[in-house]
Amino acid sequence: MRFTRALSRIVAALAVTMAAWSADAGTVVSQKFQSPTLKRDWVYNVYLPDGYDTGKLRYPVMYLLHGNGGDENEWVAKGEAQKTIDKLIADGLMPPAVIVLPSATTTWYVDRKEPMETAFLKDLMPEVEGKFRIMNDRMGRVIGGVSMGGYGSLRFALKNPEMFAAVALVSPAIYVPEPPETSSARRVGVFGAEQYDPEVWKSLNYPTLLDAFLAKKISMPVHFSSGDHDDFQIEYHATNLYKVWRDNKIPAELRIIDGAHNWDAFKQLLPDAMRYVFQTVRRPELVNGASQ
């Protein structure tokens, strides 16, 4: 009898725990729209926090970019982003937020294979802001990505610092002066016409954007992270750029963990990166005219 009562209490406690966890769980929804710039359908996923469907809050937003050859599902399927975000929100380490996960294949988020950079700014962002209750100003918007997505995130932020409050660079492919011989950047047909052209890479990489960015005197917190045995020695490149931020007294954090250039490392790096960038943004707020 005592065993039965004890077992019942354990089952009840587990039920309460599971209910609490479910109440904090967000959802990921798939979206598609016609991009005027790309002249084709464009797909993206969106993480919506618990309570989005029934509430009247406007949320901060993060654009979370995938790596080379990935798609809109990569961060959720391989990076366990949904589980990570749910836990960060539940633990109070980041506010409830909307996370946008666009597909960009192997474009490196530049206007080469396709005008992906232009489409991101002129098509995707207005599409998302018109469809979802998200903040549409700098202090409600952050960006980040892994590998190729880190390369793209850094370029977006440096070229448009008035649009993003902070940046999360997870093992970012920000090679200076050039990508290593094993990097996909040399093989995907982006940085050159028929074959890789070092001058194209250098013309598009972040050093060409630094002086103009720094001249604007806009504080742009960046979270740099990498494994210490990254296949492309990204820990070296991330540390170099982190020093530039420190030298210019811009807020930044650097995290180097035991790991390589793979999803085991990326999954470990994401939580701290998201915690950091969401420190900078406003909390969810009522839509104008709405009441609780």
pLDDT one-digit tens code per residue, 117-173: 999 999 999 999 999 999 999 999 999 999 999 999 999 999 999 999 999 999 999
State yes or no: pLDDT of 9 exceeds 70. no
Rounded to an integer, the average pLDDT of 256-261 is 98
Alpha helices (runs of H) in the chain, residue ranges in sequence order: 2-23, 74-77, 81-90, 116-119, 125-131, 148-159, 198-204, 207-215, 234-247, 263-277
pLDDT of residue 17: 32
Angle, vertex CA 284, rays to CA 281 and CA 287, nearest 5 = 125
Global pTM value: 0.90
- Residues with Cβ within 8 Å of 95's Cβ and at least 6 positions away in sequence, in order, are 59, 60, 89, 278, 281, 283, 284
State yes or no: pLDDT of 273 exceeds 50. yes
